Amino acid sequence: MHVFYQPDITLPFITLSEEESKHCVRVLRLQNGDKIFLADGNGKLATAQITDNHPKKCVLQIVSVEQFLREESSGRQYYLHIMIAPTKNMERVEWFIEKATEVGIDEITFIETENSERNKVNMDRCLKIAISAMKQSKQWYLPKINELKSLKEIIQQPPTGAKYVAWCQADKTQLFSNMLDKQEKYFTVLIGPEGDFTTQEINACLQSGFVPVSFGATILRTETAALYGVMAIKALHS
């Protein structure tokens, strides 16, 4: 069955948003009596039946509701937080959001550094991409996407768990995949801009408990490095 995003699932009837109603009725041409899935992005999955296929306010009757734990939905036993400096071409970061959501990620924070190329992010657009990827990959938890923060703010209140900062000048013996500890349950990875972090920024990260790591012999683009981080941790727990 088709999956639609509905952040507030309440019994017994629900009206889809105008955007989801249009997709349901105009694009998919679903009719009264057809059944669909509703996902709230927080582990709740409902089966619903269309009672009024209005193209702008499609009405549904809830048939059943299931609540999934995060581990059940994703098949992962860890929490992953990627902090990334948005690129000048936002489409590249949007690509990362889509692919990371499909693979499995819990939180994304945009960061501003000395070499940042962008200081504004369209959060609504990012959310739409994450919702689409969540529905496509049949994962019932939407990743949390945070507004832009300065690197200074982050290192003043560093996250708990294992903390890594990808750095082009890191010792190549400190390969990210070799530095990971499978016993850790909370991972945070800092991904810098195209111009990388400055030496001063790296030193500040080290003082806050971040471990500098190499992503290999080649220089990766920001979004590629971020997805590499997601995949490496995924592989560790596979």
E strand map for 133-215? 144-150, 162-166, 186-191, 211-213
Tell me, yes or no, whether 47 and 81 share the same domain: no
User: Given this model, what pLDDT does residue 135 score?
Assistant: 95
CATH number of the CATH domain containing 108: 3.40.1280.10
Quote the CA–CA distance of 117 and 13 in Å, as a whole number.
46
Q: What is the pTM of this model?
A: 0.93
Tell me, yes or no, whether 108 and 206 share the same domain: yes
User: By residue range, what is the domain housing residue 230?
Assistant: 73-236
Tell me, yes or no, whether 137 and 167 share the same domain: yes
Tell me, yes or no, whether 59 and 151 share the same domain: no
Tell me, yes or no, whether 96 and 209 share the same domain: yes
Quote the CA–CA distance of 190 and 175 in Å, as a whole number.
15
Q: What is the dihedral of CA 39, 8, 101, 82, to 10 degrees?
A: -150
User: Given this model, what pLDDT does residue 170 score?
Assistant: 83
Beta bridge partners of 109: 83, 146
As averages over each run of 10 residues, the pLDDT of the chain (238 residues) reads: 94 96 97 98 97 97 96 91 96 97 98 94 97 95 97 95 94 88 95 95 96 93 97 93
Give the count of domains, the chain.
2
User: How much of the chain is helix, strand and coil, in % rounded to 5?
Assistant: 35, 30, 40
Quote the CA–CA distance of 238 and 236 in Å, as a whole number.
6
